[in-house]
Structure 1
Amino acid sequence: MAASTPAKSGNQSKRPGKKEPKLLLGRFEVGKLLGAGTFAKVYVARNVRTDELVAIKALSKEKIVKWGLVAHIKREIAILRRVRHPYVVQLFEVMATKTKIYFVMEYVRGGELFSRVSKGRLREDTARRYFQQLVSAVAFCHTRGVFHRDLKPENLLVDENGDLKVSDFGLSAVAEQSRGGDGLLHTFCGTPAYVAPEVLSRRGYDGAKVDIWSCGVILFVLMAGSLPFHDRNIVSMYRKIYKGEFRCPRWFSPDLNLLLHRLLDTNPRTRITIPEIMEDNWFKKGFRHVQFYTEDDQLHTLADDPQMGADEAQGDAGSLWETESDCSVISCASSVSEGKRARPGMSRPPSLNAFDIISFSRGFDLSGLFEETGDETRFLSKEPVSTIITKLEEIAKAVSFTVRRKDCRVSIEGTREGENGPLTIAAEIFELTPSIVVVEVKKKSGDKETYEEFCNKELKPGLQHLVLAPDYNAKPVDSGKGTGKNF
């Protein structure tokens, strides 16, 4: 029977209801415009699934292609993924339509630091705290081979907790960009009042030294409420920058005066370095090193870590700034894994089903579980989970690596920094049968050569006695060839 269509009458006409909000890519309700530039607009938006606010940077594909900025945008994305730090604005994801590219980023509620300084100079303790957080973020970026090159109060945001967030990496460079065989950068960029004298000379410059100069200008602005080098005529201002001509107000302490003259040293070779800033008397007052890690793609500070009490989190913080990491391991104090804290009850490892086993092995032959695939290794063991975890902790301790453990997962991190961060390894244990477990070891970050060296010299020899030797007389599940190698 065909469905009948009801007749419409005047009193049955459609009532105006609440308009459904338009969602960007099915997830984001876009709100007010936060800012606009030549190539991009930034909006605040709400994730309708999580109810969290984010900032969305929308870029026009047409303009990007027209101005030859494709490589530039790709580099900015790579840089933002490389520098995940509590004092750096986070990039959550990148999306695209036929006409637009969208950066979904952390929304920082407090706005620009510039708006606070524009009202007048800050109190010394407040200025020092912002400067300490700025230096922590810049130090982290430099260990990742990233140089911001446009540090200024307009690119520094403040969140609801009063913490600084470095933003706008659009002019950033990476170490591998240096050209000409001199190891220096040559692109003239930056904001005039904050640019270093060696950039003006156009003879090449060290990206790290340029960022340190900009940090010095920012510190002066925070403490004085005005620029150290200022002139209505830009040529005259550049002349002052090149000569390093500035005067500190009378309320600056001797320690602050000394630090500023070392930051704004016109000779990049003698200009203060990040480690030297960390040891400066004025800088060190009340300074606490931020400690953090990422887990399940979420950034956490150690204060959020339920495995570590507040006292422990503060214990050895003073010596750990070098190992701050965006990896799955954090620079926790080594004492965390040395028995200071009672080990919580060992939970049972997650079980593997048939689909897990198939996904683990490229063939159906179970000998494929004994395999190496570049950045990961798996092996079987009959040893208790507690024994395997204890051995992993012992191996890490022997080479002064830090350790974090959560249930049947262990993360191990080295302290030697590289462009890809310190070597970080994650080991996870799965139950195959009530008496056999699968141990999966993966490289999370760091150089491949460093990972292979650690595996060959430390990990494999240390774990060899725990590996269950395969029974080659056993009938395989399928006649397909195993493709992996023994651990």
Structure 2
Amino acid sequence: MPEVNTSMDLGLTPSEEMVMLEQKYDFLKMIGEGATGKVYLVNHKEGVNTFQMACKIIHTQHAPKEIVAKFLPRELDILQKLEHPNIIHIYCIFKGVHGDKFLIFMRVAELGDLLDYVLGNGEVPEMVMKCWTFQLVLALEYLHTLEIAHRDLKCENILITKNYNIKLADFGFSRFMVDKNGKKGLSSTFCGSLPYSAPEILRARPYDAKGSDIWALGVVIYVGLNKSMPFPDLPPKRLYKLQKKKSFKFRIKVLPHLTQDCFDFVYALLEPDCKKRPKIEDIIQHPWFIENGERLKRSENEERAYEYAKRNKKTFWTQMVTEDIVIEDLPVTTLAVTESSQNDFMVKKPHQSTLNALRNASYFGRRVVPSPTVSVDNKESEKGEKPQTNETVAVIEE
């Protein structure tokens, strides 16, 4: 039988630990930590097979009140609805009966996040970055078709699997951009990370959150190609002025290795005028995604997910979490466990497709690029800003 690692303080009660043991979840080590919780590597045994996954534990009493009251219900609601090859797959969600903790079990990304990859391996070759970008674009296309904005797109939230596929993660700030009648609106919450924030966010006025996702995507691609940020680490007001002037350049050492289509693509996404910035449907048609005379296409599973989103988006809107919902109202079902522990834990049990996913190591994914051979380069040969992780977004008036 698995054992709960006593060297780690998971913040679980003895009976909650018993549930983990009965369900054969073996916590191995902590592999990450964010604003709302810690992430652990976990083995899950099903029959004679053992599957590895990640588990994010959120303790609501330790999180900011606004996160618990506003953002966490949205995140859990959206996570249970999404199913796309390039979005991290959620296997199941455990919930404390008193709403004091959530355990989100998800697919593990063996190679970590994009920021760690770039810092450890250097600039990503254009061909690899193109494949990863296309996967990200298809993930955003799926979300935007459902009228969902991610609102925290950054290198740390882009995970890489052992087969070098990309998975978009962390939907803590995501939200629907329509009401239940399909009426579109603007976002008035200024969230995310400052280095990835679009100019319209820094103006402290309502903004099109889907458009700001596009800007953040441009920053992500720039970081991958350059191993630096497009703009220096500056206070919001000075950063805003540089963004408006489009004052960024590619590093000298990478220029000979990039095509004109690649330059054009990044410059288009980092358009400071949100009205001129391309939408996701325009981005997919960009010449950069033409390889050997043929345009990159969705895989069968990517196409299936996209078509499903188009057909069922209205259903998503009518079932979405409303602004005033509380965590206790989120739908979960009771899992049959021992009498001693049943009163402490409730769980959203995975459906059969999830169990099938656990058995299939590749799940939706397919290997789209060879394992990149990139020389390690931890030195800056030119003046440039290293990728950063700034979680505070200040706002300014234009």
* TM-score bin (small chain): 0.5 to 0.7
1:348-390 per-position Cα deviation (integer Å, ceiling 9, x unaligned): xxxxxxxxxxxxxxxxxxxxxxxxxxxxxxxxxxxxxxxxxxx
Alignment correspondent of 2:42: 45
Alignment correspondent of 2:267: 261
CA distance in 2, matches of 1:91, 1:73: 15
**Residue type matched to 2:170 in 1?**
D
1:257-295 per-position Cα deviation (integer Å, ceiling 9, x unaligned): 222221111111111121211111112326231322xxx
CA distance 1:68–1:271, change in 2 (3 Å): closer
Name the SS of the counterpart of 2:171 in structure 1: coil
Alignment correspondent of 2:54: 55
Alignment correspondent of 1:74: 73
> Are 1:248 and 2:244 an aligned pair?
no
Alignment correspondent of 1:443: none
Given that residues 290 and 324 in structure 1 are in contact (C-alpha distance below 8 angstroms), is that contact kept between their aligned partners in structure 2?
no
CA distance 1:68–1:89, change in 2 (3 Å): closer
CA distance 1:68–1:137, change in 2 (3 Å): closer
Gaps (5+ residues) in structure 2?
5-17, 318-398
Given that residues 111 and 117 in structure 2 are in contact (C-alpha distance below 8 angstroms), is that contact kept between their aligned partners in structure 1?
no
CA distance 1:416–1:187, change in 2 (3 Å): same
Alignment correspondent of 2:33: 36
Among 287, 299, 302, the alignment partner of 1:290 is: 299
Given that residues 26 and 44 in structure 2 are in contact (C-alpha distance below 8 angstroms), is that contact kept between their aligned partners in structure 1?
yes
Among 324, 334, 345, the alignment partner of 2:305 is: 324
CA deviation after TM superposition for structure 1 residue 203, in Å: 1.7
Between Structure 1 and Structure 2, the one with more strand by share is: 1
Alignment correspondent of 1:103: 104
CA distance in 2, matches of 1:289, 1:130: 13
Alignment correspondent of 1:207: 209
CA distance 1:189–1:71, change in 2 (3 Å): closer
Name the SS of the counterpart of 2:50 in structure 1: coil
CA deviation after TM superposition for structure 1 residue 95, in Å: 0.8
> Are 1:193 and 2:188 an aligned pair?
no
Q: Higher Cα Rg: structure 1 or 2? A: 1
CA deviation after TM superposition for structure 1 residue 176, in Å: 3.3
**Residue type matched to 2:261 in 1?**
D
Which aligned pairs between 1:294-305 and structure 2 lie closer than 5 A? none
**Residue type matched to 1:79 in 2?**
I
Name the SS of the counterpart of 1:245 in structure 2: coil
CA distance 1:159–1:420, change in 2 (3 Å): farther
Aligned-residue CA RMSD (Å): 2.7
Identity of aligned residues (%): 27
Given that residues 278 and 284 in structure 1 are in contact (C-alpha distance below 8 angstroms), is that contact kept between their aligned partners in structure 2?
no
Which aligned pairs between 1:354-433 and structure 2 lie closer than 5 A? 416=311, 418-420=313-315
Alignment correspondent of 2:144: 142
Alignment correspondent of 1:408: none
**Residue type matched to 1:52 in 2?**
F
1:56-113 per-position Cα deviation (integer Å, ceiling 9, x unaligned): 1111132358556144222101111222111111112111235422111111111111
CA distance in 2, matches of 1:282, 1:68: 38
CA distance in 1, matches of 2:272, 2:50: 49
Alignment correspondent of 2:172: 170
Gaps (5+ residues) in structure 1?
1-18, 293-300, 302-320, 326-330, 332-412, 423-487
Given that residues 143 and 421 in structure 1 are in contact (C-alpha distance below 8 angstroms), is that contact kept between their aligned partners in structure 2?
no
CA deviation after TM superposition for structure 1 residue 20, in Å: 6.2
Given that residues 178 and 184 in structure 2 are in contact (C-alpha distance below 8 angstroms), is that contact kept between their aligned partners in structure 1?
no
CA distance 1:48–1:103, change in 2 (3 Å): same
CA distance 1:20–1:176, change in 2 (3 Å): closer
CA distance in 1, matches of 2:39, 2:114: 18
Structure showing greater relative contact order (alpha-carbon pairs closer than 8 Å, 6 or more residues apart): 2
**Residue type matched to 1:110 in 2?**
L
CA distance 1:66–1:113, change in 2 (3 Å): closer
With normalisation by structure 1, the TM-score equals: 0.55
**Residue type matched to 1:117 in 2?**
V
CA distance in 2, matches of 1:415, 1:38: 33
CA distance in 1, matches of 2:103, 2:164: 27
Which aligned pairs between 1:468-479 and structure 2 lie closer than 5 A? none
Number of equivalences: 288
Given that residues 157 and 169 in structure 2 are in contact (C-alpha distance below 8 angstroms), is that contact kept between their aligned partners in structure 1?
yes
